[in-house]
Amino acid sequence: MRTGTAILPLHHGRAPRWLFERMTALSREITAAIVAEFGQRAFLERLSDPCWFQALGCALGFDWHSSGLTTTVTGALKEGLKGMEGELGLFIAGGKGGASRKTPEEIRMYADRHTVDPAPLIHASRMAAKVDNSAVQDGYQLYHHVFVFTDRGQWAVIQQGMNEQKRSARRYHWLGENVADFVVEPHTAVCCDERGAVINMVASESEGARRISTALSRERPEKVLKEMTRIREIELSRRHHITAADIDPARLHRTLTKTYERQPEGFEELLGIRGVGPKTVRALSLLSEIIYGRPPSYRDPARFSFAHGGKDGTPFPVDRETYDRTIEVMRRAIRTAKVGHRDRMEALKRLARFYGA
């Protein structure tokens, strides 16, 4: 099972209402079919696969290559599952912009209703966002975060960052059961061609930098800032992806006071402290490299089909009649399977085998 990231051109605008309503209806039936046939875990596995998620967006008729696919498809899934959460044991929290900040309270709401412990789920949601925004500094600012979980505590994350200069978005996928450690290679693969200069503090080869950064965060702020001031007085080699000009010692004092008071035992705990963001991580990783010879990794973690057409007419305009017929076929197949008549579901399975799916 591979999870990872995908790079998409940055597109603005909204899906037309007539299309979004159909996307909501069809995504509901697809989700119900997968859960009925293969279980909740299989649905999470599919969501955490960037290629499958992209194909789902194509099947739903959205732009195959745009950033809007992420936000619109997850929005359709969330809207489509409304009222069916208890039946499927599947819940979707978060969304784009302000909705992403409501993720913890939505997790808690669903968890309280269905006797699920919310604490580890909220922690997983927060750490996924922290890692992709602060520990992996690739130039993409997160603006979309969706957390999908089951009544058994299994989870997956789909989140997206934006780079205005490159006019592109990068989507990150997580699968909970594949995450042995939030700060050591939590993405098990990559699915994009574009790579750049990054600071990757969750790469396996960054172990020394994580250890030294955590140790530095436990020191008195004055000691760390003294070393930082010294670094600003020397000229770093051109090979560094971090420069002294990137660091303002005065602004670090408040955050370093917090870390000193908390005395984090590991890098995950350090990353989880409120206020520890990209600049703090950059500063500590720079000190780790210059003073202790423990550099962070600069390795970028990043490495279609059409059923109903595409919103922008590529490869052809969305065929509304065919789209509506697909929704109805899926809906009837699910309903009849529930009452013991599985002929339609078996027909879909035969089609999948025929086409090698």
Write the DSSP assignment of 262-292 as a string of letters. Answer: H--SSHHHHHHSTT--HHHHHHHHHHHHHHH
Q: 122 and 75, same structural domain?
A: yes
**Of the candidates 136, 140, 141, which has an alpha carbon nearest to the alpha carbon of residue 203?**
136
pLDDT average, residue stretch 289-314: 69
What single-letter DSSP state applies at residue 238?
T
Q: 108 and 181, same structural domain?
A: yes
Per-residue pLDDT reduced to its tens digit, 254-297: 999 999 999 999 999 999 999 999 989 988 998 888 888 888 88
Per-residue pLDDT reduced to its tens digit, 121-170: 999 999 999 999 999 998 889 999 999 999 999 999 999 998 888 888 88
pLDDT average, residue stretch 326-346: 68
Q: 210 and 190, same structural domain?
A: no
Q: 120 and 177, same structural domain?
A: yes
- Provide DSSP, 248-270: -HHHHHHHHHHHHHH--SSHHHH
- Number of C-beta neighbours around residue 279 at 10 A: 16
Examine the pLDDT at 305 and tell me if it is beyond 60: no
Q: 171 and 59, same structural domain?
A: yes
Q: 253 and 157, same structural domain?
A: no
The band of 352, judged by pLDDT with boundaries at 50, 70 and 90, is: low
pLDDT average, residue stretch 236-257: 67
Q: 64 and 38, same structural domain?
A: yes
pLDDT average, residue stretch 106-129: 96
Looking at per-residue confidence, does 62 or 77 come out higher?
Answer: 77
Per-residue pLDDT reduced to its tens digit, 27-52: 999 999 999 988 999 999 999 888 78
Give the pLDDT of residue 341. Answer: 59
Domain end (from 196, 217, 239)? 196
Give the pLDDT of residue 304. Answer: 43
Q: 162 and 31, same structural domain?
A: yes
Q: 164 and 208, same structural domain?
A: no
Considering only 1-10, 153-162, 213-222, 254-263, which range has the smallest mean pLDDT? 1-10
Provide the token pair at 282: 């950059």
Give the pLDDT of residue 175. Answer: 94
Domain end (from 196, 224, 254)? 196
Whether 15 is covered by a domain: the verdict is: yes
Examine the pLDDT at 239 and tell me if it is beyond 50: no
What is the percentage of the chain residues whose pLDDT exceeds 90? 49
Q: How many domains does the chain have?
A: 2
Q: 281 and 226, same structural domain?
A: yes
Cis peptide before 315 (omega within 30 of 0): yes
Q: 175 and 69, same structural domain?
A: yes
Whether 347 is covered by a domain: the verdict is: no
Whether 211 is covered by a domain: the verdict is: yes
The band of 238, judged by pLDDT with boundaries at 50, 70 and 90, is: very low
Q: 144 and 70, same structural domain?
A: yes
Whether 345 is covered by a domain: the verdict is: no
Give the pLDDT of residue 96. Answer: 94
pTM > 0.85: no
Per-residue pLDDT reduced to its tens digit, 180-207: 999 998 876 544 445 567 889 999 999 9
Domain end (from 273, 292, 311)? 292
Residues whose CB is less than 8 angstroms from the CB of residue 356 and which lie 6 or more positions away in sequence, other chains included = none
* Angle, alpha carbons 104-173-169 (nearest 5°): 95
Give the pLDDT of residue 355. Answer: 45
Q: Structural domain of residue 249, as residue ranges?
A: 204-292
Give the pLDDT of residue 227. Answer: 83
